[in-house]
Chain A
């Protein structure tokens, strides 16, 4: 089945220790998104790629970076995680070109000690 896969599902890191979260998709979608979701809050868009074009949200901290080496994969790098970065990180994809529906991976739950 076509899907969005995220690894790892759970990540524990220490304060200030860099961490990388990965996302892959078999949907062949043009657009990939990274969201941060904290308890009882809406998913918050961090950035997205339309093909290779990177689009950062104005309020996304510099601590968060992303890479998309090819259509299938996208990575979220948190350079120096703080306690406030503990959250669920969701990857999503959409077809672009007017196809707005987004399909989410299962998420990575990040704990910062």
Chain B
């Protein structure tokens, strides 16, 4: 089993749609969770950290379910500029290392 698993997509959605991505992780000792966004041929950029209580940043909402070991990202009112690969990232439970999922591709179309 991979340490972090994501549906690779692509998710093709129209502008204005709501889209949700899920991610599962295998290490129950993981303490830190993140969503990164990566545009084509660019570096990953931190989109948001994910907290136990869930957190929201504008159109983006992240949730963490420790019991089931999954993380979700909800994007409301999708924009063309949201088209990117979304990487689910989890720390491995010790040390300073993060494990990256392979990413979910989102394509927002007009």
Contact = CB atoms under 8 A, between A and B. Distances in A.
A90 B44 CA distance: 9
B101 A42 contact: yes
A103 B96 contact: no
Interface string B39-73: 00111111001000000000000000000000000
A48 B87 contact: no
Listed residue (A45, A94, A100) with the most chain B CB atoms within 10 angstroms of its CB: A100
Given A42-B102, A94-B96, A100 B32 contact: yes
Nearest to A109: B41
A88 B40 CA distance: 12
Contact of A96 (B32, B43, B49, B96): B96
Nearest to B88: A42
B1 interface: no
Interface string A90-113: 100010100011111111010000
A21 interface: no
B101 A100 contact: no
Interface in A28-54: 31, 40-43, 45, 48, 50
Interface string A71-98: 0000000000000000010100010100
A103 B102 contact: no
A76 to B, nearest CB: 15
A101 B46 contact: yes
Contacts of B42: 106-107
Interface string B89-110: 0010001111011110000000
Contact of A90 (B34, B43, B96): B43
A102 B98 contact: yes
Contacts of A45: 97-98
Interface of B: 4, 31-32, 34, 41-46, 49, 87, 91, 95-98, 100-103
5 contacts: A42-B4, A42-B102, A45-B98, A48-B96, A101-B34
